[in-house]
Every structure is written in C-alpha cells, then in structure tokens.
Amino acid sequence: MEWSDEMKISFTKMHGCGNDYIYINGADYTIENKKELSIRLSDRHFGIGGDGIIFINPSEQADFEMEMYNADGSRAEMCGNGIRSVAKYVYDKGLTEKKELKIESAGSIKTIWLTTNEDKVTAVRVNMGRPILRPEQIPVLTDEKKEVILEELIEVEGKQFHYTAVSMGNPHAVIQVEDPMSVEIEKLGPMIEHHQNFPKRINTEFIKVEDRQNITMRVWERGSGETLACGTGACAVAAACILNGLTENKVTVKLLGGSLLIEWDRDQDQIYMTGPAETVFEGTIEV
C-alpha cells in the first residue's frame, strides 16, 4: 500500500516495563516518511502515544527485522524492551511458531527465547550480545588513549559526574548517584545527551547499587527523553557495575516501570536479558 491522505494503518501498542512503542507490520505497508510518522503517532496528546514506532519487517538474514524510530523521528539501532515486544507480537499473532527466534535490528541479529502460556508469550530472554567498551566504537571522545572508559569525569552545568561508557548497539553513559529519584533528569539528561564528548549523542543512566544483586536505575534516552525502562540501558548498567567490581555477574535492574534480570556470561562474553512484554491495545489510525 502507498501512504495517501486516506490511508489507515493498523497498529498494536505494546510495552516492556513501561517502555512503550507503536508496533506496525511493515510487510503490510510502504511508508516513505517514517520519521514524520513516528513524530506524529508518538505524541501522547495528539497521536497514539509512545516512545517511538517499531516496524516489524521480513528479513533475509533472520526470522524478522525490527526497524525502530524514536519519538523525535531519529533512527535507533537497538531497544531491549522493543525487541522483546517484537518477539511477543510475531508469536502471539501466529506469524511464527518458533520459540527460539532470530531478530535483526540495524544489521545486528539477536537470538531470543520465548516463555509461553496458553499460546501467549509471558516472558522473553534475549542474547543482547557482547558489550562494546572501546571508546571509538561506542563512540566517546576522550583526551587519553583508553581501551575502556571507567568512571570518567564529565562536567555539566558546573557539576561533576563520573561515568562508565558502554554500548549495547547504542551508546550509554552510566552514572552513580546517591538517589536516582532526586536527579533533575529533565535538566541534566539533555545536557549529557548532547555533550561534546558524545558525537552520536548518548543515553544516560543514573543508578544506585543497592547490593551486589540489585541496582536501581533511571534513564534518559536520546531522542525520547525519560522513559520508564530501557533494556539496552539495563544491560549497560549491569556491565558497568560488574566492570567496576560493584556487583555479581547476575543482577536485577529495577526501573521505574518494572525489573529486568541481566546476566553477563563472562566466559562467552555475552549479556542475557530476561523480562516481560505486554500488549496494551490494538487499533487503526488514519494518516
């Protein structure tokens, strides 16, 4: 179908720990201006409302492709909560009978395992891959030649923070604070996101290590602002805490919208994420 003034699009609203997106079967539509569509539909007052749009497309390399756009229309490489919902979408709608799937996003392929009950997905485990730590690959600009950015100093609005940089297919700066809930995230989030050290912008996690198995986190996502959860962010947080010797290799990351179980298999150098995916509602919208 071509996108015209009278075109109606069927969608499914889904979330993972409150990180909500609008899901569209990309095989059913040909849409040229996806950036503009994401901005319009993500608006919580005049659209459907969400942290962005995810198109579920055919893939030559995997079972399906996830094509993701943030609420500001920018393209995103990966979303841990999003990819769990994609897996639930394709299984619940009968697009696949597999309980082990491969889903492609921005050229990266993730392996996913489904837990089901009465033919519906109740939980999803994802191999999120190897954490990327080299500054030039994240990317992060630094004056010194370093293989890993651990507790690097950054100054924002006259305040100094120490961050650990990790990419899980998208860049993250993990910052320890005394109380994540008291952070002025609406002020600090955009400033860190657009800081000169981060040439492709960055997602920022403000965290508190509760003990060696539990971490509390708030997140500012580039292109979306504060969200209730971020799956890649939770993986980056776990990796950062493990690298800094603060936690065990298996932790529960507590986000505003729920909890994710993150495990870093150090022998395989692979991070696994387990969490829920929920369908909110379905409908059609005229675009």
DSSP state of 228: S
pLDDT digits (tens, 9 = 90+) for 22-61: 999 999 998 989 999 999 999 999 999 999 999 999 999 9
pLDDT recorded at residue 3: 46
- Kindly state the tokens that stand for 153: 């100093």
Cβ(65)–Cβ(74) below 8 Å: no
pLDDT digits (tens, 9 = 90+) for 53-111: 999 999 999 999 999 999 999 999 999 999 999 999 999 999 999 999 999 999 999 99
Amino acid at 188: L
CATH number of the CATH domain containing 64: 3.10.310.10
The verdict on 148 and 246 lying in the same domain is yes
Dihedrals phi, psi of 243, to nearest 5 degrees: -60, -35
Model confidence at 274, pLDDT cuts 50, 70, 90, reads very high
Report yes or no on 185 lying in a domain.
yes
Beta bridge partners of 214: 211, 252
Amino acid at 286: E
pLDDT digits (tens, 9 = 90+) for 248-260: 999 999 999 999 9
Cβ(192)–Cβ(204) below 8 Å: yes
The verdict on 257 and 167 lying in the same domain is yes
Model confidence at 6, pLDDT cuts 50, 70, 90, reads low
pLDDT recorded at residue 2: 46
Report yes or no on 253 lying in a domain.
yes
Report yes or no on 2 lying in a domain.
no
DSSP state of 169: S
pLDDT recorded at residue 145: 85
Report yes or no on 123 lying in a domain.
no
The verdict on 169 and 113 lying in the same domain is no
Report yes or no on 146 lying in a domain.
yes
Percent of the chain with pLDDT over 70: 98
Q: Which of 17, 79, 235, 241 is catalytic?
A: 79
The verdict on 184 and 247 lying in the same domain is yes
The verdict on 159 and 182 lying in the same domain is yes
Report yes or no on 52 lying in a domain.
yes
230 is catalytic: yes
Query: CA-to-CA distance for 243 and 95, rounded, in angstroms?
Result: 39
Report yes or no on 130 lying in a domain.
no
Looking at the whole model, is its pTM more than 0.85?
A: yes
Query: Could you tell me which residues come within 8 angstroms of residue 192 by beta carbon, excluding any fewer than 6 positions away?
Result: 154, 156, 161, 173, 198, 202, 204, 220
Report yes or no on 42 lying in a domain.
yes
Tell me the three state secondary structure of residue 22.
Answer: strand
Mean of the per-residue pLDDT values of the chain? 95
17 is catalytic: no
- Tell whether the model's pLDDT for residue 264 goes beyond 60: yes
Query: Could you tell me which residues come within 8 angstroms of residue 207 by beta carbon, excluding any fewer than 6 positions away?
Result: 174, 175, 176, 177, 180, 215, 216, 217, 218, 237, 241
Model confidence at 144, pLDDT cuts 50, 70, 90, reads confident
The verdict on 106 and 170 lying in the same domain is no
Structural domain of residue 55, as residue ranges? Answer: 8-118+276-286
pLDDT recorded at residue 197: 96
Domain count across the chain:
2
Query: CA-to-CA distance for 248 and 195, rounded, in angstroms?
Result: 31
The alpha carbon of 53 is separated from its chain's Cα centroid by a whole number of angstroms, namely 12
